[in-house]
Structure 1
Amino acid sequence: MISHDRIKIPPGFWNGLREIGFSMQEITAKAQLMPAQIERPEGVTITEYFAIWQAYSELVGDISEAVVKLSTAFDTTQYPPSMLATFHARDYRDALNRMGKYKKLCPPESLQIKEEGDDCRIQLSWSDPQQPGPPMLAAITLATLLELGRRGTGRLIHAKLVEFSFPLMDTGTLETYFGCPVRFGADTNRLTLKRSDLNLPFLSYNEEMLEILTPALEHTLNERQSNDSFVLTVERIIKHGLAGSRPDMLIVARDLGMSERTLQRRLAEEGTSFKKILSHVRHEMALTYLKDPSLEIHEVAFLTGYEDQNSFYRAFRSWEGETPANWRIKQNSQSVPLAR
């Protein structure tokens, strides 16, 4: 998913933080953000969103304790519509499936839910694997899924296993909360539940509320998917004509059967522009090509549409804060297996 996606932070998030002693001003100052950035109607960028969570992590000190506090402090009356639809679901399975579906409206994370045997495994993925979210956000997301089941059913549901891809935190606090073993340094972030718990009915089931919320959410989801497919189509056309030349917006517009002005308007409606998409595609492809040791730097520059190597170097510094050569060296050193 590309970087123009925005996240609207619900008021309940800030209310929950206030409940445990943190103000929005403290968090934004630590994240080096201005209040105006947080209050934009279209929401914050993914980078800003991650910065907010990282700031909370740094301010709170004990991350494990903070995960539990914020997960349990969030008032259900403050839930955004997508969360309300899960809280008023028929049972835990229905709630989780709705959560997985409506997460598509709330980048940058997504959920893959798989029922197999006696287990239900819920895996957290990031829209951009090159930009994973802070550990705090991953932990909060999985804790929220369990908290949803507990609040909806009125039962103290325990997970079977929780796995995190980041290094060790305070295992004891999290194991007490989740009621199961918690592993760190795993290959993914994943919550494993007892499949039988998914059949538990929700005491908060509200058919009338679902009849109000569901159509609006489905409409928004359909619009988002349609818009995403348009942006992805533009990306595909750019990639096809990228090697050795900078794609011209007029050519892309003609391939789409529309005028330049219409293309600009459609992209502006999605909160992005041709220039932003072109930069994103070049960045993404540059990282992919640099991982191939058989390609020289000047060849990567050519394949990403730069006529000279210096222009590519300047662009890459703006993306990664270092030269392509240094980035490649770091990647190679990380991929070398440790000696036994």
Structure 2
Amino acid sequence: MPTYSLAPGWQRVLSALDLDPVQVLRRADLPADLFEGPRKRIGAEDFFALWEAADALHRGPDLAVAAASGVSADHFDIPVLAGLAARDLAQAAERINTYKRLMYPVTLDVRGDAGLRIALRPRGPFTPPAVLERFELLFWVAFARLATGARVGPVRVTVPEPPEDQGAVIEFLDGVPLTKGHRAEVVFSPYDVHRPFVTTSHAAVWQFLEPELDRRLYALEASTTWTERTQAVLLACLPAGRRSLAEVAAELGTSPRTLQRRLGSERTSFQEVLAQTRERMARAYLQRSALSYAEIAFLIGYEELTSFHRSLRQWTGETPRGLRSGTGVPV
């Protein structure tokens, strides 16, 4: 399954928010040494669990606002450095979107019509927690202010789940409230999109880093196994009702026979990859959502609830209720 490298500043950011990194990791049910030693890679569910744990432990009015308020040139990872070296917000959005996939389970849908629209696009079927969606959008406002040196404000910020208390968000956005919509999106005016950046001093560093990042992107794509590619396609296809070998092979641009042969060379099979992907999705939906068992069964490709129960027992030795209990999600 796709994994993502944690940015090196996680511990520093958590500490700046008065959060104990060890407590956050424990709450997220992740290894206590995750932030120590060599940079580790985690799946999308674990990445989202980190944010959920931090949100649960945060004592302030809104973790997303607190995190966005702490944005500074000292805390940026490499993709954001690429943005700071851009000429304006339009170019920065395209650059950050390109390199974000090296280390993040959420990518962007960037559109330049009537200003600039930046919408979140999850890399897989798992929806980011509401606090992460808010931060991602507020980050762009903070980033625009830092890069332009002006008090840039958005035209509109839309989220699927606005918080009940928007006081901190409205203050951060200089009076602009969050509106409810089907996807998380921030919109900037044409004027603000083309404000010149005052951070162009980063351009010399960027010229040095760009070839290395391009090499890493190429290596990431070239090193992806057929098992990983099949899993990635299934993550998107299963909720849409497409789960056959022929359908997945077509998405990958190959034939069913060739796909089976390539998976066999990696000591697995299509049915094994399908079962592993279903189990991963079932665990995530049961532990991170309030979807009914019938809805989860449908989303992972089961037409009958009894078949879902039987498979889950085979994979995990648990019932859906057993996996969901203790997670804080209603059963």
SS in 1 for 2:212: helix
* Pair 1:80 & 2:77 matched: yes
SS in 2 for 1:123: strand
Match of 2:252 in 1: none
- Specify the code of the residue in structure 2 equivalent to 1:210: W
Mapping of residues 59-98 of structure 1, within 5 Å:
59-64=57-62, 66-98=63-95
Closer/same/farther in 2, CA of residues 180 and 138 from structure 1, 3 Å limit: same
The CA distance in 1 between the partners of 2:83 and 2:93, in whole Å, is 7
SS in 1 for 2:74: helix
Shift of 1:62: 3.6
**Structure with the largest fraction of helix:** 1
Mapping of residues 310-329 of structure 1, within 5 Å:
311-315=310-314, 321-322=320-321
Match of 2:9 in 1: 12
The CA distance in 2 between the partners of 1:133 and 1:319, in whole Å, is 26
- Specify the code of the residue in structure 2 equivalent to 1:19: A
Is the 2:90–2:116 Cα contact (8 Å) retained in structure 1? no
Mapping of residues 170-209 of structure 1, within 5 Å:
170-205=165-200, 206-209=202-205
Q: Which deviates the most, 287-296 or 161-170?
A: 287-296
Flag the structure with larger Rg. 1
Shift of 1:63: 4.4
Aligned residues: CA RMSD? 3.8
Match of 2:153 in 1: 158
String of CA shifts for 1:185-204, please: whole Å, max 9, x gaps: 42111101112211112111
Closer/same/farther in 2, CA of residues 225 and 104 from structure 1, 3 Å limit: same
Match of 2:42 in 1: 44
SS in 2 for 1:162: strand
Is the 1:159–1:180 Cα contact (8 Å) retained in structure 2? no
String of CA shifts for 1:199-230, please: whole Å, max 9, x gaps: 11211113321111211222222333345584
- Specify the code of the residue in structure 2 equivalent to 1:222: Y
Match of 2:237 in 1: none
Is the 2:281–2:300 Cα contact (8 Å) retained in structure 1? no
Is the 2:5–2:104 Cα contact (8 Å) retained in structure 1? no
* Pair 1:127 & 2:123 matched: yes
Match of 1:304 in 2: none
Shift of 1:233: 5.1
**Unmatched segments (≥5 aa) in structure 1:** 244-250, 268-272, 302-308, 324-340
Shift of 1:93: 1.5
Is the 1:7–1:107 Cα contact (8 Å) retained in structure 2? yes
The CA distance in 2 between the partners of 1:10 and 1:51, in whole Å, is 16
The CA distance in 2 between the partners of 1:320 and 1:104, in whole Å, is 35
Shift of 1:51: 1.6
Shift of 1:109: 0.9
Shift of 1:34: 2.5
* Pair 1:24 & 2:24 matched: no
* Equivalent in 262, 274, 298 of residue 290 of structure 1: 298
Question: What is the TM-score with the length of structure 2 in the denominator?
Answer: 0.73
The CA distance in 1 between the partners of 2:319 and 2:273, in whole Å, is 16
The CA distance in 1 between the partners of 2:5 and 2:300, in whole Å, is 37
SS in 1 for 2:119: strand
SS in 1 for 2:197: coil
Closer/same/farther in 2, CA of residues 45 and 291 from structure 1, 3 Å limit: closer
* Pair 1:214 & 2:210 matched: yes
SS in 1 for 2:199: coil
Q: Which deviates the most, 191-200 or 224-233?
A: 224-233
Match of 1:224 in 2: 220
Is the 1:161–1:181 Cα contact (8 Å) retained in structure 2? yes
Shift of 1:45: 2.3
Is the 2:101–2:107 Cα contact (8 Å) retained in structure 1? yes
Identity of aligned residues (%): 16
Q: Which deviates the most, 71-80 or 211-220?
A: 71-80
Is the 1:112–1:123 Cα contact (8 Å) retained in structure 2? yes
The CA distance in 2 between the partners of 1:59 and 1:259, in whole Å, is 43
- Specify the code of the residue in structure 2 equivalent to 1:88: A
Q: Which deviates the most, 173-182 or 159-168?
A: 173-182
**Unmatched segments (≥5 aa) in structure 2:** 235-241, 248-254, 283-293, 323-331
Equivalent pairs counted in the alignment come to: 293
Is the 2:6–2:103 Cα contact (8 Å) retained in structure 1? no
- Specify the code of the residue in structure 2 equivalent to 1:69: A
Closer/same/farther in 2, CA of residues 316 and 190 from structure 1, 3 Å limit: farther
Match of 1:139 in 2: 134
Question: What is the TM-score with the length of structure 1 in the denominator?
Answer: 0.72
The CA distance in 2 between the partners of 1:169 and 1:281, in whole Å, is 34
Is the 1:38–1:44 Cα contact (8 Å) retained in structure 2? no
The CA distance in 1 between the partners of 2:27 and 2:222, in whole Å, is 36
- Specify the code of the residue in structure 1 equivalent to 2:266: L
Match of 2:54 in 1: 56
SS in 1 for 2:186: strand
